[in-house]
Chains A and B, each alone.
Chain A
Amino acid sequence: MTAERTSALLDLRGVSMRFGGLSVLDTLDLAVAPGEILGIIGPNGAGKTTLFNVIAGVLPPSEGRLIFDGRDVTGQKVWHRCRMGIGRTYQIPKPFGKMSVFENVMAAAIHGGGVSIHTARGRAEEVLERTGLLHRATLEAERLSLLDLKRLELAKALGQRPRLLLLDEIAGGLTQAECDVLLQIVRQTHVEGTTIVWIEHVIHALRSIAGRMVVLYGGKLIADDTPDAVLADERVRSVYLGEVT
């Protein structure tokens, strides 16, 4: 366990998040190895998005420490963590509405990716093509449909070329074909060396791609294994799948 911990790309040690008396994350320990695809599932209100906000640096944890790439980033600002290589998507898209789709991705490449404007232009074009948004490049982002806004969330994160990519429910509402395209994009990003942590309710998508799956319930991890083993777990079925079906 110790060896695995020191080599982890992301390591959460005893992380708690409380809002007043409400405990959303409860002394959570979670290590993500480099090159991993980790799936996170859990019922609504389990603390999944809060977990991402703590990892990305939007929320300072009430307790515990976060280690990214061997460095303690607990006190680091969002943008510093981003530049260190943590990219994320928002479950509810947060586009830069008055900027074009192209500029949205370009801005992410410039600031998160740390490249020049010239390089960022090329990268934005490449990422938009990959995510199927190139035909929308000149459109103001606020004019996009919800589905395209979700694609843009992914495109912005990919524009940064993050080492760790946090995906927050990006497969919801997709048709089977669209979902397959999305999985293809995520797989390609993974092959190119990005470690991925993916929160998703579309279990079959996650199951097909994640090497490991954890279940968050009441701010604690109640399962941590291969997707098949996790989904077969009695306890998981009762708290999670039982609720859905």
Chain B
Amino acid sequence: MTFSKTRRLAMTGLRLGLLAVVVVLAFGPGFLEVGTMRLCAQVFLLMVLAMMWNLLAGYADIVTVGQHAFVGIGAYALYGLTAKAGLSLPVAILGAGAVALVLAVPITAIVFRMRAAYLAIGTWVVAEVCTLLASKIPGYGGATGITLPGQVIRALGGNVRDRFANLYWISLGLVVVAYLATALLLRSRVGVGLMAMRDNEEAAGAIGVNLVASRIICFLWAALFLGLAGGVLALLNLRIQPAASFSLIDYTVYVIFAAVIGGVGSIEGAIIGVLVYVGLRNAFSDYSNLYLMFLGALSILIMLVEPRGIWGLIRRVLPENIILVSHPYRGRAGREQGES
């Protein structure tokens, strides 16, 4: 089965289109208003969260409902590294990811003693414990939280516009890096094993895929990027607070909605899901929380029609993914020439 020329052309067009969007977005602060830049930064960070949930649930079969733990850890680490340790912003943001990664190691040891539904509940409990602990750290504002000090805010930019432009670029940079790196992970040996796991876990083990190691790699990978996103979210909100920084609803529940609507088990699904989620949220903002009912109804409908989400529907006409993580067979060079 070879793809027709028009289909190949369409795929190239879509890929160039995606690239063009990223390039245009890079110039966003030149023409966007402050409010729009803030919204875009939130969307970029949500995309990072959705991709990480997608990596865990869609490939490694780790259905976590506790990923807000690492977002919160990243936020608190950022506060500590800037306000307490006095590190520069770039170092502190990277440090937030590193702290989340390091703390993920003992969490892995606890959570991975469980499987399936127990693991899901386990991640939730761990996140709740983290939230509680965060409110008990002396000097971090307790349960009411604390605002980032003036020098940290000034380091982001001299005025509001500069601050949000920088936050916009940092978030855009993070989403691009997170997606590129995850795509490369999925293309690697580890990724080939993950796709096999996604499709049939027992058979993946039988062809030599180390299920335990693969899961741990994914979990740590997600923790790193969730921590980075958490650090940037603290900068975006200008404050940390246990309930808000470790928000189950904002950083796990909505993210799961987005990932499921968009399509679990594909990179494109995470992007589309977040866009649909934020789009609906804004379209129905006049009807208070009515959008949540639409979101719920939509996700149920999509799961019934196509378990692989909106991207699964689109893939019925597209021959391959836009962001290629598979290893397509291109045929023997000599043979193809001989045939054509």
* A and B pair up: yes
Residues on A facing B (Cβ under 8 Å): 56, 58, 77-80, 82-83, 88, 90, 94-100, 102-104, 106-108, 110-114, 116-117, 121, 124-125, 137-139, 141, 156, 159-160
Asked if A107 meets B206 with Cβ closer than 8 Å, knowing A79-B211, A102-B329, A121-B327, the reply is no
* B327: A residues at CB distance < 8 A: 102-103, 106, 117, 121
B326 close to A100 (CB less than 8 A): yes
* B212: A residues at CB distance < 8 A: 77
* B198: A residues at CB distance < 8 A: 98
Choose the segment among B66-74, B187-195, B253-261 that binds chain A (4+ C-beta atoms closer than 8 Å): B187-195
Within 8 A of A (CB), among B188-215: 188-189, 192-193, 195-196, 198-200, 202-212
Asked if A97 meets B200 with Cβ closer than 8 Å, knowing A103-B327, A111-B192, the reply is yes
Asked if A160 meets B199 with Cβ closer than 8 Å, knowing A107-B192, A125-B332, A139-B1, the reply is no
Residues on B facing A (Cβ under 8 Å): 1-2, 188-189, 192-193, 195-196, 198-200, 202-212, 265, 326-329, 331-332
- A79-B210, A99-B199, A141-B199 given. 9 additional CB < 8 A pairs? A79-B206, A94-B203, A95-B200, A96-B203, A102-B329, A103-B329, A107-B195, A111-B204, A111-B209
CA of A110 to CA of B331 in the docked complex: distance in angstroms?
19
* B188: A residues at CB distance < 8 A: 117
Question: Which chain B residue shows the least CB distance to A111?
Answer: B208
Asked if A94 meets B200 with Cβ closer than 8 Å, knowing A102-B329, A111-B193, the reply is yes
CA of A79 to CA of B206 in the docked complex: distance in angstroms?
6
CB distance from A18 to the nearest CB of B (A): 21
* A104: B residues at CB distance < 8 A: 196
CB distance from A151 to the nearest CB of B (A): 15
CA of A90 to CA of B202 in the docked complex: distance in angstroms?
10
CA of A95 to CA of B327 in the docked complex: distance in angstroms?
16
Q: Pick the contact of B195: A83, A88, A99 (CB < 8 A).
A: A99
Task: Count chain A CB atoms within 10 A of each CB in B1, B209, B326, B329 and give the residue with the most.
Answer: B329
B207 close to A82 (CB less than 8 A): yes
